[in-house]
Amino acid sequence: MSWSTLVSRTTAAPDPAARPGGSIRRMSRATHLGACPLDCPDTCTWQLTVEDGRAVALRGDRDHPFTRGALCGKVNRYLDAVNGPDRLTQPMVRTGPKGVGPVSYRPASWDEAVGRVAAGLRATIDRDGPGAILPYYFAGTMGHVQGWSMGPRLFAHLGSSRLQTTICTAAARAALHSVYGGSVGFEPESIVDARLIVLWGANLLSTNLHQWPFVQEARQRGAYVVTIDPLRTDTAARSDEHVAPLPGTDAALALGLMRQVLDAGGADRAWLAAHTVGWPELEARLGEWPVERAAAECGLDVEVVRRLGERIARTRPTAIRVGLGLQRHHGAGQAIRAICALPLVTGDFRYPGGGALCMTGGHHPVNEAAVVRPPDMPAPPARSVNMSRLAAVLTGEADPPVTSLVVFNANPAATAPDQTRVHAGLRRDDLFTVVLEQRWTDTCDFADVVLPATMQPEHLDLHSSYGHHYTTLNLPVTRAPGEALPNTEIFRRIAAALGLDHPRLRDSDEDLARQLLRDAPVSFEELRERTYARTTGVAVGSAPYADGAFPTPDGRARLLDPRLARHSVDPLVGYTPPVEAADPDLARRFPLVLIAPAGRFLMNSTFASLPWHAGRMGPPRVHLHPDDAAARGLADGDAVRVHNDRGSFLAAVAVDDATRLGLAFTYKAYWARLSPGRSTVNAVTAVRDTDLGGGPTFHDTRVEVEPAPAELLQVDRPQEAAAESSTA
Ligand SMILES: Nc1nc2c(c(=O)[nH]1)N[C@H]1C(S)=C(S)[C@@H](COP(=O)(O)OP(=O)(O)OC[C@H]3O[C@@H](n4cnc5c(=O)[nH]c(N)nc54)[C@H](O)[C@@H]3O)O[C@H]1N2
Ligand SMILES: Nc1nc2c(c(=O)[nH]1)N[C@H]1C(S)=C(S)[C@@H](COP(=O)(O)OP(=O)(O)OC[C@H]3O[C@@H](n4cnc5c(=O)[nH]c(N)nc54)[C@H](O)[C@@H]3O)O[C@H]1N2
Ligand code: SF4
Ligand SMILES: [Mo]
């Protein structure tokens, strides 16, 4: 590996001159390598320039083999978030009603705040048992240390409810586990060798930017690129072909394509016989899936499906990059299974650049389970609670009820489905809520105690990636603002205040990183020297499953999986239709299907309050096909209320032929407290599980839009947000 001589290795501790009250008073300037912490498959290595303890410049690291230099637009402005005037710098305790905002809070010392947290948790334990405590966390940082170690460890030791972390990839994980034995697939850098690339429900230019140059390289070598997406995204527009199925019908499309491959003589029978189970059963089922049926189910022209099937049948290698957005429908498990089955039928895993890839996580040997539940630390049995059901859990579904909620690395008041009920649950008087945050979010509005957390330049973390094969170490190199502390340290303090004295609850961040790396082919020391390393044992450009050897017990991929019958899922690869989209009665009342994919300048709800990012996103909009807008007498910019039986949100109409007739879209993860009417798209999304994995169904939603008075779009922005904008 080559290194830029301009880049100094980072040290574990910040420059002494940077410490508040430090006695050395000289100006220091150094550039350090670190990792972008965001929930993005790319996990970029970055170069952070620090001057006198403060982060002053950020750029991509050109030497990184996958991310190769440029950061994305939103993270080019990451220092707005780090150095923003709105960073939380002190613990805050509630003095007024819930749901109002910072006016209901006063600053407190760490001792007082942590004392309150311990007392609140202790009251729940004494009254309702430890299972009535629910930790709620997700991928605000993808870091294993600040995300998935000390916090979950503390709650496991207490016997709190165990969080099923389903909000994003549960259906895909379950499906990948069923078919391939884990979250594995083709080697992402090998895509340059593909002759046909299918970007299936994946908007690379917004959400997996650094895969795109590899796709372009393949194209220069003659590859043809097809995007399968109900919307003409930028990625679709820049592909050679765009296929726009109805949302939630991907399994039907995959079955039709497999049938066409079979009819065209493109099935690799020898490879199927050697390396899969269930091919005879699937072949029989494909008899029921002529392209005409698939096309009708997907709302596509028969010739489009036939031609794509023929192209796949004759093109080796074909690489299918599977996005995460397509799994936010009820039939997601079957959809991902069927898509993953397609390259098994064609034998594509035989070739570098062939096969399917949804997530690379299953290749990385990071030892998370053993860090959360170390063998030498007691962890009583506990019930599981599905995070995607938070609205229901907080409003009656949980028995016994949840009476303490500890939120970190997540903003469920904005991002969880059925927002009206989420907010009602969070408002409960008998719920004690603690939020660890970097800035004041929607969820902070409902907290009893808000604790200020550090950001990436200020803490240690370890990142594997779900889009490539490198693991990156990030060391603290700047001083945190005010009294902000790393999540890990906050949990160590809470454990101590609770009187818990197990030594595992005192492990340092470096201890945790070493434990996480126990099974990895790279040591903490090596990473401290090199920042990142390839950690999966899969060579660049290789075909890891050319000879089968999938991580299933017998090494075979599964087209038939009898274990799924336990979950009432068809053991054979097949099709589960969406729920709301396919409901004719509901369609009469709510004629529009609504999806809410990722916005380019946000990262879920992270950045939604920052002036630059909010400015690039613009106000919430609902994009309607021109004929849908015309049928309702709506013009571009008109104010509408988007509603169904669960709730509503206000938005401006964007008349947009990037979508199909009957399909509306908006971008996910605006903040309610900064939105007109204080609600977002998640006011209309449902608590409903995917067929496999218990994931959410954000895109399986029906709505209607109706005109609203224009003045309702004027947001009464809370004071602190207004102050922030004026500094832009
Ligand atoms: N800029 C930015 N990047 C992000 C995020 C962000 O919010 N902003 N979020 C991050 C997170 S948490 C995740 S999980 C990933 C998500 O990464 P992606 O999966 O790439 O992102 P999405 O935009 O959710 O969905 C991708 C595409 O799927 C399409 N889609 C929706 N329903 C269907 C369907 O039924 N079938 C098909 N074929 N396509 C469908 C959408 O129109 C969308 O264009 O991105 C990560 N990266
Ligand atoms: N309608 C709709 N809703 C969706 C989706 C959709 O497609 N449509 N997508 C869903 C998906 S894919 C996902 S992954 C979820 C994501 O939803 P969330 O998990 O809620 O993610 P974010 O909104 O990014 O919120 C993360 C928060 O963590 C904080 N944070 C970051 N790092 C740290 C840290 O080190 N310490 C602490 N204490 N806090 C930190 C950030 O400031 C931020 O407020 O949203 C889901 N919601
Ligand atoms: S969000 Fe993704 S693309 Fe952007 S800098 Fe972070 S890892 Fe790279
Ligand atoms: Mo996600």
Give the span between the Cα atoms of 511 and 461, in whole angstroms.
11
Give the span between the Cα atoms of 149 and 518, in whole angstroms.
14
Establish how many alpha carbons lie within 13 A of residue 7's alpha carbon, considering only the half-sphere containing its beta carbon.
22
Residue 433 tokens, joined: 């809520």
Residue with CA at minimum distance from ligand 3 atom 8: 44
175 alpha carbon – ligand 3 mean position (Å): 26
723: pLDDT strictly greater than 50: no
Residue with CA at minimum distance from ligand 2 atom 2: 668
Establish how many alpha carbons lie within 13 A of residue 459's alpha carbon, considering only the half-sphere containing its beta carbon.
28
In this structure, the number of other CB atoms found within 10 A of the CB of residue 115 comes to: 16
Q: Are residues 398 and 253 in the same domain?
A: no
Q: Is 603 in the pocket of ligand 2 (CB under 6 A)?
A: yes
Q: pLDDT tens digit string along 530-544?
A: 999 999 999 999 999
21: pLDDT strictly greater than 70: no
- The full 3-state SS of 412-436, as one line of letters, equals HHHHCCCHHHHHHHHCCCCCEEEEE
Q: Are residues 249 and 266 in the same domain?
A: yes
Residue with CA at minimum distance from ligand 2 atom 12: 168
In this structure, the number of other CB atoms found within 10 A of the CB of residue 8 comes to: 11
Tell me, yes or no, whether 348 lies in a domain: yes
207 alpha carbon – ligand 1 mean position (Å): 7
Q: pLDDT tens digit string along 82-100?
A: 999 999 999 999 999 999 9
| Residue whose pair of structure tokens reads 């096309």 in the numeric block | 295
Q: Is 230 in the pocket of ligand 1 (CB under 6 A)?
A: yes
Q: Is 40 in the pocket of ligand 3 (CB under 6 A)?
A: yes
Q: What is the SS3 assignment for 355? A: strand
Residue with CA at minimum distance from ligand 3 atom 3: 72
Give the span between the Cα atoms of 348 and 352, in whole angstroms.
9
Given this model, what pLDDT does residue 715 score? 75
Is the sign of the CA dihedral 213, 236, 76, 441 positive or negative? negative
39 alpha carbon – ligand 4 mean position (Å): 7
Give the span between the Cα atoms of 613 and 128, in whole angstroms.
43
Which residue of 168, 183, 206 sits with most ligand 1 atoms within 8 Å of its CB, as the best mutation to test the pocket?
206
Tell me, yes or no, whether 543 lies in a domain: no
Give the span between the Cα atoms of 378 and 152, in whole angstroms.
13
Pick from 282, 250, 253: nearest CA to 179: 282
Given this model, what pLDDT does residue 714 score? 85
Q: pLDDT tens digit string along 606-635?
A: 999 999 999 999 999 999 999 999 999 999
Q: Is 35 in the pocket of ligand 3 (CB under 6 A)?
A: no
Listed in sequence order, the residues at least 6 apart from 143 whose beta carbon sits closer than 8 Å to its beta carbon are: 35, 37, 456, 461, 462, 463, 474
Cβ pair 466, 41 in contact under 8 A: yes
Q: Is 431 in the pocket of ligand 3 (CB under 6 A)?
A: no
Residue with CA at minimum distance from ligand 1 atom 24: 325
Ligand 4 (ion): which residues have CB within 5 A? 168
Identify the H or E element spanning 224: strand 224-228
Q: Is 394 in the pocket of ligand 3 (CB under 6 A)?
A: no
Residue with CA at minimum distance from ligand 3 atom 6: 36
Alpha carbon 324 to chain centroid distance?
Answer: 8
15 alpha carbon – ligand 4 mean position (Å): 35
Q: What is the SS3 assignment for 74? A: helix
* Confidence at 332, pLDDT banded by 50, 70, 90: very high
Q: Are residues 351 and 204 in the same domain?
A: yes
Establish how many alpha carbons lie within 13 A of residue 298's alpha carbon, considering only the half-sphere containing its beta carbon.
31
Given this model, what pLDDT does residue 721 score? 44
Q: Are residues 462 and 499 in the same domain?
A: yes
Domain boundary among 310, 338, 358: 358
Given this model, what pLDDT does residue 25 score? 53
Residue with CA at minimum distance from ligand 2 atom 11: 168
Given this model, what pLDDT does residue 438 score? 98
What's the average model confidence in pLDDT over 279-308? Answer: 98
Write down the mean pLDDT value for the chain. 94
Q: What 8-state DSSP symbol labels residue 397?
A: I
Which residue of 44, 76, 137, 207 sits with most ligand 1 atoms within 8 Å of its CB, as the best mutation to test the pocket?
207
141 alpha carbon – ligand 4 mean position (Å): 12
Tell me, yes or no, whether 251 lies in a domain: yes
> What atom in ligand 3 is closest to the CA of residue 40?
2
Q: Is 71 in the pocket of ligand 3 (CB under 6 A)?
A: yes
Alpha carbon 102 to chain centroid distance?
Answer: 28
Give the span between the Cα atoms of 521 and 74, in whole angstroms.
32
Tell me, yes or no, whether 472 lies in a domain: yes
357 alpha carbon – ligand 1 mean position (Å): 15
141 alpha carbon – ligand 3 mean position (Å): 12
Q: Strand 241-243 relative to strand 224-228: parallel, antiparallel, unpaired? A: parallel
Which residue of 76, 203, 305, 681 sits with most ligand 1 atoms within 8 Å of its CB, as the best mutation to test the pocket?
203
Tell me, yes or no, whether 428 lies in a domain: yes
Given this model, what pLDDT does residue 376 score? 95
Q: pLDDT tens digit string along 211-244?
A: 999 999 999 999 999 999 999 999 999 999 999 9
> What atom in ligand 1 is closest to the CA of residue 597?
23
Q: Are residues 482 and 430 in the same domain?
A: yes
Q: Are residues 388 and 424 in the same domain?
A: yes
The residue ranges of DSSP E strands in 486-582, in sequence order, are: 532-534, 557-558
> What is the number of the ligand closest to the CA of 617?
1
Residue range(s) defining the domain that contains residue 523: 92-168+364-534
CATH number at residue 486: 3.40.50.740
> What atom in ligand 3 is closest to the CA of residue 36?
6
* Confidence at 504, pLDDT banded by 50, 70, 90: very high
Cβ pair 447, 435 in contact under 8 A: yes
Given this model, what pLDDT does residue 725 score? 39
Q: pLDDT tens digit string along 28-46?
A: 899 999 999 999 999 999 9
* % of the chain beyond a pLDDT of 90: 93
Q: Is 38 in the pocket of ligand 3 (CB under 6 A)?
A: yes
> What is the number of the ligand closest to the CA of 78?
3
* Structural domain count, the chain: 3
What's the average model confidence in pLDDT over 136-151? Answer: 97
> What is the number of the ligand closest to the CA of 204?
1
In this structure, the number of other CB atoms found within 10 A of the CB of residue 621 comes to: 18
Q: Are residues 260 and 381 in the same domain?
A: no
Q: Is 321 in the pocket of ligand 1 (CB under 6 A)?
A: no
Q: Is 628 in the pocket of ligand 3 (CB under 6 A)?
A: no
Q: Are residues 529 and 612 in the same domain?
A: no
Q: pLDDT tens digit string along 294-305?
A: 999 999 999 999
What's the average model confidence in pLDDT over 461-469? Answer: 97
81 alpha carbon – ligand 3 mean position (Å): 14
Given this model, what pLDDT does residue 717 score? 56
56 alpha carbon – ligand 3 mean position (Å): 18
Given this model, what pLDDT does residue 367 score? 87
Residue 171 tokens, joined: 């259906």
Q: Are residues 382 and 505 in the same domain?
A: yes
Cβ pair 159, 381 in contact under 8 A: yes
Tell me, yes or no, whether 370 lies in a domain: yes
Q: pLDDT tens digit string along 357-374?
A: 999 999 999 989 999 999
Q: Is 338 in the pocket of ligand 1 (CB under 6 A)?
A: no
Classify residue 546 by burial, with Cβ atoms within 10 Å: 0-12, 13-18, 19+. Answer: middle
Given this model, what pLDDT does residue 8 score? 37
Give me the count of residues in the chain. 728
Give the span between the Cα atoms of 316 and 195, in whole angstroms.
6
Torsion of CA 482, 487, 489, 490, to 10 degrees: 80
Domain boundary among 501, 518, 534: 534
Residue 278 tokens, joined: 């269930």
Pick from 637, 625, 721: nearest CA to 675: 721
> What atom in ligand 1 is closest to the CA of residue 235?
44
DSSP H helical ranges for 498-622: 509-516, 524-530, 584-589, 611-617
209 alpha carbon – ligand 4 mean position (Å): 15
Given this model, what pLDDT does residue 333 score? 98
> What atom in ligand 2 is closest to the CA of residue 439?
42
Tell me, yes or no, whether 573 lies in a domain: no
> What is the number of the ligand closest to the CA of 136?
2
> What atom in ligand 2 is closest to the CA of residue 435?
38
> What is the number of the ligand closest to the CA of 81?
2
CATH number at residue 320: 3.40.228.10
Give the span between the Cα atoms of 376 and 396, in whole angstroms.
36
Cβ pair 49, 31 in contact under 8 A: yes
| Residue whose pair of structure tokens reads 């670190």 in the numeric block | 34
328 alpha carbon – ligand 1 mean position (Å): 9
267 alpha carbon – ligand 1 mean position (Å): 30
Which residue of 411, 483, 610, 699 sits with most ligand 2 atoms within 8 Å of its CB, as the best mutation to test the pocket?
411
> What atom in ligand 3 is closest to the CA of residue 42?
7
What's the average model confidence in pLDDT over 182-210? Answer: 98
Residue 37 or 2, more confident: 37
Give the span between the Cα atoms of 290 and 22, in whole angstroms.
74
Q: Is 227 in the pocket of ligand 1 (CB under 6 A)?
A: no
Given this model, what pLDDT does residue 19 score? 42
Residue with CA at minimum distance from ligand 2 atom 16: 604
Given this model, what pLDDT does residue 503 score? 97
Tell me, yes or no, whether 31 lies in a domain: no
Q: Are residues 407 and 474 in the same domain?
A: yes
Q: Are residues 201 and 333 in the same domain?
A: yes
Q: Are residues 370 and 322 in the same domain?
A: no
Domain boundary among 329, 358, 387: 358
Classify residue 397 by burial, with Cβ atoms within 10 Å: 0-12, 13-18, 19+. Answer: middle
CATH number at residue 648: 2.40.40.20
Given this model, what pLDDT does residue 360 score? 97
Identify the H or E element spanning 125: helix 110-128
* Confidence at 567, pLDDT banded by 50, 70, 90: confident
